[in-house]
Structure 1
Amino acid sequence: MTRTERSGQPEQAGKTVLLHRAGRAGVITLNRPKALNALTHAMALRIAEALAAWERDPAVETVVLTGAGERGLCAGGDIRAIHQDARDGDGTASAAFWRDEYRLNARIARYPKPYVALMDGIVMGGGVGVSAHGSVRIVTERSRIAMPETGIGFVPDVGGTYLLALSPGELGTHLALSGAQVGAEDALLCGLADHFVPSQSLARTVDDLSTLTVREALARNVQEPPPGELAAQREWIDVCYAADSVEKIVDRLLDHGDPAAKNAAETLLTKSPTALKVTLASLRRARRLGPLEHVLDQEYRVSCRALIAPDLVEGVRAQVIDKDRAPRWSPSTLAEVTDADVEGFFSPLGERELGLAGPDTTSEVAW
């Protein structure tokens, strides 16, 4: 830690990730508000460095993650940079970013001190990765949490398939395939968050974390969330998404009779057919893989394969670059995506494997 960090003043050398000490807490602030705090490779490395330093510092008892600005914690990874790398480069920059980002996700999940993520506002993709693996995950009435990757021809990563595979019933399958955003109560139901705190109480919560234990700070600030939507939709979600193929899922949704199910089917049919099929396979496999590290290894294979498939470049072009919202997927229909196409995304990478899985992937955090 630098002198400015030890004195409690935000360090300005790393302008996109600010670090400071507040009493017994180390505070990480993602600081790209104009880009919705989208995560870059340099930001991931800086967070990892801070976590390593604070793990060794007995004066830091709790780590708090927050985001600058009023719109959200983090809208995901910097997909413009990934788009450019996949389109014009050889993909090595993106693969290197993901390697360090996924290692950071695993480190957060196993961090030996309480890691408190303030999931206020928009939290998507990579934002989920740096927050939802934490030991204490706080949502507010403004939280909008999603893994929207299938809409850009990609697959949920950063441990997203691990988290969603653990959601009750088929809720995780619904969120992964559709990219639907959920609020506070639904995030709690899906296991993506632990506690609800009104947004107006977040500043006080951080102040309390600087002087109190996490348990004491939560007791002072946690409230009951406003009602969600997913609990009432479990019947059709669990029935329809239990099918063993995306085609059957769509058919069940269209045939169910609930207008919300039909809307979900129509949403799925706008997504990348390849991404949908690979996502479903990823989720089903994640349920059998066990610890997070094993799932991250799988996600790394899938992500690297996506770099050389056409839909990621096309999806980002349509949704983010040109914003015409009219992607031309290839293949363009579910029927054209073969089992062999899907299986290719899971092929081993040889020497390029992420290699996170090991014999010791458990830890406990006492707070």
Structure 2
Amino acid sequence: MTAPGTPAAEQPAEPPVLVERRGRAGVLTLNRPRALNALTHEMVGLLDEALQAWAEDPDVEVVVLRGAGERGLCAGGDIVAIHRDATTGGTGSEDFWRDEYHLNALIARYPKPYVALMDGIVLGGGVGVSAHASHRVVTERTRIGMPETGIGFVPDVGGTWLLSRSPGELGTYVALTAGHADGADALVLGLADRMVASSDLDRLVEQLADPSAGDVDAVLDAVAVAAPASTLTAAREWIDAGFAHDDARDVVAALRARPEPEARAAADAVEAKSPTSVAVTLRALRAARDLGSLEEALAQEYRIALRMLRGHDFPEGVRAQVIDKDRNPRWDPASLELLQDADVASYFAPLGDAELGLTRPPSPASAGAEG
């Protein structure tokens, strides 16, 4: 509330990440509700700084991540700023992605329980700060997705690592169609662990912060509810059959040959996306299945992201979906049939000195053996 007689413009702005200590918990709140808590480079730095400090603080036993406002945890990265870089030759996005991917790896290897409350909208970069957590909570309001192929990009922030490990071809389906999943589907995809009623989230945070509440898993289990049936599970037959191919053209053909109307709708969805993004995403997913660590997948995604930034389809997709909002992107090439295999392969070439530079840390057991 503004103090009487004080212009609102003179009030100090709240930080974009609220960093709080509550009992035994460190609570991080993404705090750009008007922008659906979209991540900026500053926010990545604030999250990293707090997590690094709390990792060494014996009084912090658990970390909780949540989003301000009623709409969701996080709608992804600040796409308008990234578009500006893509169209002006700036390097801010490269620096942002480098630090963001390092943050994703830190979250995945965090030495303490990290509880992500994935309520409402969770897209793109929001997946990166939540789905790598040790404890991932969805609600009946959750809408999670990796919408990148619709804007000429690829699932990043470890998205190819996560989705390549979903059952069957469910992750491939979500990635290529840029589809959204509800809380029940997120559990099936392996992007979450428990469902909690959104009305219980504040109580859950209080209990997680209570030093006398006991084990984090026990606290979560006591509040968790049974998830409804997953629509993705019901569609496994045609999804697995249609998306089992390694060539996007074969995927579309297989979907069109299926009797289910949903399969043909999925083919339409794939063909509406950037052909380059679809083909590169499919190859990245297949490669990620054989990689040995999240860090390797992030390094692969970084190579692709830098090349997408300087390509045609990414700035064009953002223009059509976010800037001009005409919803009519002009992809180049315009179809999968016109895409050359060599062009797809070029996105995966090493970056030399510009590589991400992430290496997987040794496990505590191996570190002790070496000592």
Q: TM-score range by the shorter chain?
A: over 0.9
- What is the CA–CA distance in structure 2 between the aligned matches of 1:289 and 1:108, rounded to whole Å? 19
Unaligned runs of 5+ in 2: 1-11, 367-371
- Aligned pair partner of 2:245 in 240, 243, 246: 243
Larger mean CA deviation between 222-231 and 308-317 belongs to: 222-231
| 8 Å Cα contact 1:291-1:361 kept in structure 2 | no
Q: What is the alpha-carbon root mean square deviation over aligned residues?
A: 1.4
- What is the CA–CA distance in structure 2 between the aligned matches of 1:21 and 1:272, rounded to whole Å? 44
1:360, distance to aligned residue in structure 2 (A): 2.4
Matches of residues 323-342 of structure 1 in structure 2 within 5 Å?
A: 323-342=325-344
- What is the CA–CA distance in structure 2 between the aligned matches of 1:287 and 1:262, rounded to whole Å? 26
Larger mean CA deviation between 222-231 and 108-117 belongs to: 222-231
1:217, distance to aligned residue in structure 2 (A): 1.4
The 1:273/1:313 distance shift into structure 2, 3 A limit, reads: same
The letter of the residue matching 2:362 is D
1:14, distance to aligned residue in structure 2 (A): 6.2
**Corresponding residue for residue 196 of structure 2:** 197
The 1:36/1:27 distance shift into structure 2, 3 A limit, reads: same
Note the alpha carbon deviations across 1:179-233, whole angstroms, 9 max, x for none.
Answer: 1100111100010000000000001100100112312311320110122200110
**Is 1:141 equivalent to 2:120 in the alignment?**
no
Q: Find the residue that maps to 2:272 and give its secondary structure.
A: coil
**Corresponding residue for residue 7 of structure 2:** none
1:13, distance to aligned residue in structure 2 (A): 7.8
**Corresponding residue for residue 82 of structure 1:** 82
Please, what TM-score do these two structures have when normalized by structure 1? Answer: 0.94
**Corresponding residue for residue 344 of structure 1:** 346
Q: Which has the larger radius of gyration?
A: 2
Q: Find the residue that maps to 1:269 and give its secondary structure.
A: helix
The letter of the residue matching 2:227 is P
Unaligned runs of 5+ in 1: 1-11
Larger mean CA deviation between 151-160 and 333-342 belongs to: 333-342
**Is 1:185 equivalent to 2:184 in the alignment?**
yes
The 1:136/1:358 distance shift into structure 2, 3 A limit, reads: closer
| 8 Å Cα contact 2:140-2:198 kept in structure 1 | yes
The 1:59/1:14 distance shift into structure 2, 3 A limit, reads: farther
Runs of 4+ in 1 over 3 A off after TM superposition: 361-364
- What is the CA–CA distance in structure 1 between the aligned matches of 2:316 and 2:329, rounded to whole Å? 6
| Seq. identity, % | 59
**Corresponding residue for residue 8 of structure 2:** none
- Aligned pair partner of 1:215 in 198, 213, 217: 217
1:73, distance to aligned residue in structure 2 (A): 0.1
Q: Find the residue that maps to 1:155 and give its secondary structure.
A: coil
Larger mean CA deviation between 240-249 and 101-110 belongs to: 240-249
- What is the CA–CA distance in structure 1 between the aligned matches of 2:119 and 2:138, rounded to whole Å? 6
- Aligned pair partner of 1:230 in 223, 229, 232: 232
Note the alpha carbon deviations across 1:296-345, whole angstroms, 9 max, x for none.
Answer: 01000000010111000000000000000000001111011111100110
Please, what TM-score do these two structures have when normalized by structure 2? Answer: 0.93
Q: Find the residue that maps to 1:226 and give its secondary structure.
A: coil
The letter of the residue matching 1:154 is F
1:255, distance to aligned residue in structure 2 (A): 1.0
- What is the CA–CA distance in structure 2 between the aligned matches of 1:69 and 1:216, rounded to whole Å? 27
| 8 Å Cα contact 1:110-1:362 kept in structure 2 | no
- What is the CA–CA distance in structure 2 between the aligned matches of 1:191 and 1:100, rounded to whole Å? 25
Matches of residues 109-148 of structure 1 in structure 2 within 5 Å?
A: 109-148=108-147
The 1:361/1:241 distance shift into structure 2, 3 A limit, reads: farther
Matches of residues 1-367 of structure 1 in structure 2 within 5 Å?
A: 15-90=15-90, 92-211=91-210, 212=213, 213-358=215-360, 360=362
The letter of the residue matching 2:294 is L
- What is the CA–CA distance in structure 2 between the aligned matches of 1:344 and 1:362, rounded to whole Å? 37
Q: Find the residue that maps to 1:256 and give its secondary structure.
A: coil
Aligned residues: 352
